[in-house]
Amino acid sequence: MENKKENFSEWYNEIIELAGLTDKRYEIKGMNIWMPYGLKIMHLIDDIIRKYSDEKKFQEVSFPVLISRKQLEVEFEHVKGFENEIYWVTKGGKDTLDVDLALRPTSESAMYTMFPLWIRSHTDLPFKIYQIVSVYRYETKHTRAFIRVREIHFYEAHTAHKDYNDAEKQMNEYLDIWKKIASELCLEYSLDVRPEWDKFPGAKYSIAFDTPMPGYRSLQVGTIHEYGENFARNYNIKYLDENGDLKYVSQTTFGLSERLLAAVIGIHGDDKGLILPYRIAPVQIIIVPIPGEIYDKILEYSRTIMDDLKNMGYRVDIDERDYTPGYKYNDWEMKGVPLRIEIGSREYNENMITLSLRTQKKKIKISRQNLRDVENYLKTVNDDIKSHSLKFFNDNIHMAKSIDDMKNEYMVRAYWCGSKECSDKIEALTEKAALGNIYNDKTSGKCIVCGRDGKLSMFSRTY
RNA sequence: GGGGCUGUGGGGUAGCUUGGUAUCCUACGGGCUUUGGGAGCCUGAGACUCCGAUUCAAAUUCGGACAGCCCCA
């Protein structure tokens, strides 16, 4: 396998196919196949997203993939922001359509033509929905599996509120939800308030979740957006308040995608392959029986161990393929399984099992009576992933006191006045783009370029 | 947005300069022997991205499309 540190790009391309996450050989650029193992991981990530969304009383919906040209003809910066990356359906069979249909690049214009029908009074608010669907963007840039694709596996939450203040509270709730999701995936992140010119089209402001990735670039793994009344005024979304007055709603959105998977692959993986947090591991525990004289009994014993673990609620499998144990160890390590159990004649005779953690070299023998201890070992693996992830995060973000300090390959924090001129200068000298001001940072300093008052900000090359 | 490189069995490749017979490794099917950190032998099947041009003849030369990768803005 490729060396991850020296050649991340090749390592990444190799592992995603080797581990059975995707097949990139489909003939349309930027559209890859979700292979069974990869799809299972993504669905487990989706389950986490659903769980924390549902907890906060979001309701899941599913909108049509097509949006009429009329819906998109609203004169609005949001629409302009996407016009160059929309796929258009212009024919039905041999007939040219009277009204062109767009494949949704995101669902604002689809959803918000329905919102006025659903939202009538203040008793309908707050209104909170989400969907996990594919959205389509005609990317002209270089595509990259899970990182920049044309068919995006997309989670989008949309809310409507009685006023701006309530929408702001929603933004905080998003941050709570995100914190929990990130923790389950063992991801660290920086909250960056995107510069004016880089915020979501139509938003008042956008906060992105940026994380350093190998290859010395940052990856935006999620975003939340405050719309205020911007969309409501264009899509005419109004409600009657307690006094009988007609008012515009304030809105927010929250978006996530398979970039979460990209981050998990890129940040946690090592030269042996993937390393998966147990919450998203399709197989949490793999049992490898070691052949020998009494293989029948070893198999029987292994299967009862598997049944016991299944009854405890774990996703566990037994590898009875005709390969050598060594091959199986490497194979499952490549697939990122957190915990492996080896069972041979010794374990069988002593009523023990041998445990091997994906993140550690040593092997641990425990007696069958203590089978429940696997929970602690799964958590140990997660702790290892988290501490590695935190170290990677800290190692890859530096504080710069001068522009010269910014001339390295890492992500960099620096004070910045917020002007385009200064960020252009920084980009010209360091190749790093302004990701925005660090969210909620209370400190202040002089702009690293012009010396005016500045806020602590993040700069990086990006994927 | 600009520039560069590359498309050969499932994966990785040799062959291309000098046009004619496609190499090796790996993975895969079958068989036997094996199995506590990527087993061995025998055997089988499997490829020149697509379209066009030049030519008696194209994996090889030329043009285009599509796809992949890298660098710069």
Q: What is the pLDDT of residues A93-136, one digit of tens each?
A: 888 999 999 999 999 999 999 999 999 999 999 999 999 999 99
Mean pLDDT of the residues in chain A = 95
As a rounded value in angstroms, the CA-to-C1' distance for A289 and B43 is 30
- Whole-angstrom distance, CA of residue A140 vs CA of residue A203: 24
Average pLDDT estimate for A234-255? 97
What domains appear along chain A, each with residue ranges and CATH number? Answer: 8-268 (3.30.930.10), 285-377 (3.40.50.800), 399-460 (3.30.110.30)
Is beta strand A190-193 parallel, antiparallel or unpaired with respect to A217-228? Answer: unpaired
ipTM score for this prediction: 0.93
Structural Rg of chain A based on CA atoms: 25
Residue that is written with structure tokens 């608010």 in the block:
A125
Token pair for A202: 């139509």
Evaluate whether A215 touches A196 at the Cβ level (below 8 Å): no
Secondary structure of residue A182 in the 3-state scheme: helix
Q: Residues of A from 17 to 46 whose C-beta is within 7 A of strand B: which are they?
A: 24-25, 27-30
- Whole-angstrom distance, CA of residue A313 vs CA of residue A307: 10
Average pLDDT estimate for A11-27? 93
Evaluate whether A149 touches A32 at the Cβ level (below 8 Å): yes
Average pLDDT estimate for A6-12? 90
Closest residue to B66 (CA, C1′) = A27
Nucleotides of B under 7 A from a protein CB: 1, 10-11, 34-39, 66-73
DSSP letter for A353, please: E
**What is each CA distance from A95 to A140, A344, A378, A418, in whole angstroms?**
28, 67, 58, 51
Q: Residue A75: is its pLDDT beyond 80?
A: no
Q: Residues of A from 383 to 402 whose C-beta is within 7 A of strand B: which are they?
A: none
Closest residue to B11 (CA, C1′) = A18
- Whole-angstrom distance, CA of residue A398 vs CA of residue A458: 10
| Structure confidence at residue A76 (pLDDT) | 85
- Whole-angstrom distance, CA of residue A38 vs CA of residue A377: 24
**What is each CA distance from A307 to A191, A285, A374, A377, in whole angstroms?**
43, 12, 14, 18
Residue A360 CB in 7 A reach of strand B: no
- Whole-angstrom distance, CA of residue A129 vs CA of residue A58: 5
Within chain A, how many helices (H) and strands (E) appear?
Answer: 14, 24
Q: Residue A71: is its pLDDT beyond 90?
A: no
